[in-house]
Amino acid sequence: MEVLGIWVAAFFTLCIYSFLYRDNPFYRFAEHLFVGLSVGYGIVFSIHQGLIPFAWDPFWEAITKREFMGLLKLIPIFIGLLFFARVVPKYSWLIRYPIAILIGIGAGRAIPNVMDARIFRQVYGTLTPFGQIHAGALGFFEIFGAILMLVGVICTLTYFFFSIEHRGAVGGISKVGIIFLMVGFGSAFGNTVMGRVSLLIQRVDFLLSDWLRLI
Amino acid sequence: MRRQVPLILCFLFGIVMMLVEFSPHPISEGLRAEVIKWDLIIGPFALVIGVITLVHTHVIRVKRRVEHWQYSYLVFFGMIVMVAFGLPTGPKNEVFEWLFDNVQVPMEATMFSLLAFFIASASYRAFRARTLEATLLLVAALIVMIGNAPIGDVLWNELSPVGDNIPSTARQWILDNPNLSSRRGIILGVSLGVISQSIRIIFGIERSYLGGGD
Amino acid sequence: MLEKLMSIDRRIVFVLVAVAVIIPTLLKVSFPITVSQPTRSVYDFIDELPKDSTILMAFNYGPSSLAELEPMAAAVLRHCFRKNVRVIGMTLFNVGARLGDRVMSETAAEMGAVDGEDYVFLGFRPGGISVILGMGTAIDSVFDADYRGKPLSEIPMMQDVRNYDRIALVLDLASSATPEAWIVYANTKYKQQVAAGVTGVMVSELYPYIQSRQLVGLMPGLLGAAEYETLIDTPEKATAGMSVQSFVHLLIFVLVVVGNVAFFIQRRRTQ
């Protein structure tokens, strides 16, 4: 079974790589089969590790134990079932109910937590080193780094501030912001190359080592 | 009924979720836990939409005989096989796991590894130092690439009389300084956007999630 | 000549990339790895944990980033099992369930760790942020059983772990925005220490959270995995992979330089 698995995996690996030459039936075969398997896999997990523990089990428990509080859990289950209204065009508007609840929950909890984690804590992180400078705890390079960070953050924010026309001093500051952004994007590109090549190395290692046993 | 009730539900759940985050009182903590449970229960049903949409798309492809329509049968085949083995027993089924390990994983991993070829080709054809901004991007990318590769430090230590591990140090400096500043600027900007959008959603100003129609 | 160089068939570049990977892989070339501070911080945090501490590892990746994150997971698991640090595994992605289960059970078998005592894999639950928040209140309100269906109440290592209070660290092995979700909802709300191991694509965007101490540390893609292997003195696939990676990086470096030189010569000629 293990050997068969390796050969099957190698076959599909080569089917996908055949796309490097050009689009062809082998690639399309693998691509479509992959989509089907992924969806099937998703269905199994959604049911076994989502709907059963979160909806079916509480439902069954509420029914068998006949507890009033347990029956309250039927309300979200019923709301969730409204997603199926999508298949009946006449009642498809009912799908807005569960979507509205999910979006409301998401928006409500985002406001305080995002404000704290991504605004206050980030501003705090930017300004903390200046307290340390004042206390004489930082060396020359750290002080330079702290100033550079503050300048970078202000300039980048200015670049994204579209309520004022980017001319004169604002234009100059936003141009410095672009410099920081470009270096940031450059570093992201460099790391992306590493990420993509890692995937290739793993597949080549599989073909040479597990399949062809050359290593 | 069709638009007003969802707007009211969104407002109520949004406000409750926001307020309970600020209050450590046991009642609000209990309410918060209950709302989270509702989210966990309702959420999985949303996955139904994805499956329905995909099946519908491929049924249409077959019906209309669009180019390569025959391959849509493979989508149905793959889906049915996985469900047939996984659904009765759960994901710990041997055949289900075998199909995942030896068919789904290799295909997805290989599909994404194709990007290594395309990124190399694109770098050669399009990565040009045409302007100051493009030059900065290019130089930063090259430094990070060489700093990431162990051979960068090895070559530097062998060939240069100045300093040790300079490529990886330079890479780290870029990530720790200019990269950090620009990313923080983006985080602050995006977060302000998230908060303002969330407020608009809760108060019913942003309604695009309701879709079209009445 | 110059125009030919500028417009070579992309498949020639593909062949060069393939050669740059295949030959060093066959030759088993190996270079030493320089360890970066963000990876060292993750290592130090785990290394300094008292015996029988518990960490939570979130396997939030799928096959598309398996190459980068599975070696990282294996290296951290080896370190934890060696240090008698208990590991709870879970995932917010359905594809992460099989991958997390596989790497945990294989590494545990190799290190002699016992399921339920030294590690447990809880599997997948849909809901993302609600799962993170729900676990803060009570883990068993989200995961009532482990991946194999054993109730949490019957798992020895889960007896004193009810929520984040007894979890020393959440390590998110991620291929998407989940580290930010852990930061925003577990770190901010529950003061839970969070570290991340992420794909190369995501590395740059998480640096602000290291400086603000919202992240304990950060492992960058395959390099992070190789660095961790170096720190635990067990070079494996990631270390070998990074050595091969060097040649492709050099190739792309040369391609970019050649492309630019040709571009500037051509531009000067046309001017």
Long-range contacts at C2-9 (CB < 8 A, ≥ 24 apart):
C2/C262, C2/C265, C2/C266, C2/C269, C3/C266, C5/C258, C5/C262, C6/C259, C6/C262, C6/C263, C6/C266
Q: Structural domain boundaries of chain C? A: 2-28+246-270, 37-234
A:C CB pairs within 8 Å = 136
Give the closest-approach CA distance of B59 to chain A in angstroms: 13
Q: Is A147 on the interface with B (CB under 8 A)?
A: no
CB contact under 8 A, B97 and C204: no
Checking if the pLDDT of A48 tops 80, the result is yes
E strand or H helix that includes residue C149: none
Average confidence (pLDDT) over B4-10: 93
Q: Report the first-to-last Cα separation within chain B, whole angstroms.
A: 10
Q: Do C22 and A204 touch (CB under 8 A)?
A: yes
Give me the pLDDT at residue B64, please: 94
pLDDT value of residue B214: 67
Contact check, Cβ <8 Å, A190/B14: no
Q: Please, which chains are in contact with B (at least 3 CB pairs closer than 8 A)?
A: A, C
| Per-residue pLDDT at A60 | 86
A184–B213 CB contact, under 8 Å: no
Q: Does A60 touch chain C (CB under 8 A)?
A: no
What is the residue whose two structure tokens read 């949409």? B53
Q: Collect all residues of chain B within an 8 Å Cβ-Cβ radius of residue A115.
A: 191, 195
Q: What phi, psi does C86 have (nearest 5°)?
A: -80, 150
Q: Tell me, what's the ipTM? A: 0.93
Residues of A in contact with B108 (CB under 8 A): 34, 38
DSSP symbol at A72: T
Could you tell me the two tokens for B33? 């836990």
- Record the tokens describing residue A29, joined without a space: 């075969």
The predicted pLDDT at position B25 comes to 84
Q: What percent of chain C has pLDDT over 90?
A: 91
What percentage of chain B's residues is helix, strand, coil (to nearest 5)? 85, 0, 15
Confirm or reject contact between B72 and chain A (CB < 8 A): yes
Q: Does residue A35 sit at the C interface (CB-CB below 8 Å)?
A: no
B31, B18 in Cβ contact below 8 A?
A: no
Judged by average pLDDT, the poorest of A58-62, A180-184, B60-64, C37-41 is: A58-62
Residue A41, classed as helix, strand or coil, is helix
| Helices within B100-148 (DSSP H only) | 105-126, 132-148
Q: Helices marked H in C91-169 — which ranges?
A: 94-111, 129-137
Q: What is the pLDDT of residues C159-170, one digit of tens each?
A: 999 999 999 999
Distance in Å, alpha carbon of C252 to nearest chain A alpha carbon: 9
Average pLDDT over residues A25-31: 96
Residue A65: what pLDDT? 77
Q: Which fold has domain C37-234?
A: Rossmann fold (3.40.50)
Smallest Cα distance from A152 to chain C, Å: 12
Q: Within an 8 Å CB–CB cutoff, is residue A107 touching chain C?
A: no
For A115-139, b where at least 16 C-beta lie within 10 A, e where not — what string? bebbbebbeebbeebeeeeeeeebe
Interface mutation vs chain C, best among A198, A199, A209, A214, most C CBs within 10 Å: A198
Instruction: Count residue pairs from A and B with Cβ separation < 8 A.
Output: 411
B97: nearest CA in chain A?
Answer: A41
Collapsed DSSP state (helix, strand, coil) of residue C194? strand
Tell me whether A70 touches chain B (CB under 8 Å). no
Are B48 and A86 an interchain contact pair (Cβ–Cβ within 8 Å)? yes
Q: pLDDT tens, A120-135?
A: 999 999 999 998 888 8
- The tens digit of pLDDT for each residue in C196-220 reads 999 999 999 999 999 999 999 999 9
Q: How many Å apart are CA C155 and CA B121, to the nearest integer?
A: 52
Chain A residues touching B42 at Cβ < 8 A = 76, 79-80, 98, 101-102
Please, which residues bridge with residue C119 across strands? Answer: C87, C115
**Nearest-CA distance B137 → chain A (Å):** 4
**pLDDT bucket at A163, cuts 50 / 70 / 90:** confident
Q: Does B107 touch chain A (CB under 8 A)?
A: yes
Q: pLDDT tens digit string along C233-270? A: 999 999 999 999 999 999 999 999 999 999 899 888 88
Q: Residue B21 — pLDDT band, cuts 50, 70, 90? A: confident
What mean pLDDT do residues A77-91 have? 88
Pairwise CA distance, residues C177 & C198, whole Å = 10
Residue of chain B nearest C123, judged by CA positions: B91
Interchain proximity C21–A200, CB inside 8 Å: yes
CB C195 within 8 A of CB A179: no
What is the mean predicted confidence (pLDDT) over B139-143? 96
Computed over every residue of chain C, the mean pLDDT equals 95
Question: Is A191 in contact with C220 (Cβ distance < 8 A)?
Answer: yes
Spatial separation of the C-alpha atoms in residues A194 and C245, rounded to whole Å: 7
C45-66, pLDDT tens digit by residue? Answer: 999 999 999 999 999 999 999 9
Is the CB of A109 less than 8 angstroms away from the CB of B18?
yes
Q: Using a CB-CB distance cutoff of 8 angstroms, which residues of chain B are in contact with residue C259? A: 123-125, 127-128
* CA-based nearest residue in chain B for residue A114: B191
- The alpha carbon of residue C1 is apart from the nearest alpha carbon of chain B, in Å, by 16
Beta-carbon contacts of C221 under 8 Å, excluding residues fewer than 6 positions away, are A191, A194, A195, A198, C68, C198, C199, C200, C203
- A117, A118, A192 ranked by CB distance to C200: nearest: A192
Q: By the CB < 8 Å criterion, does A50 face chain C?
A: yes
- Out of B109, B145, B186, whose CB is closest to C64? B109
| Minimal CA separation from A23 to chain C, in Å | 13
Any chain A CB within 8 A of the CB of B68? Answer: yes
pLDDT band with cut points at 50, 70 and 90 for residue B1:
confident
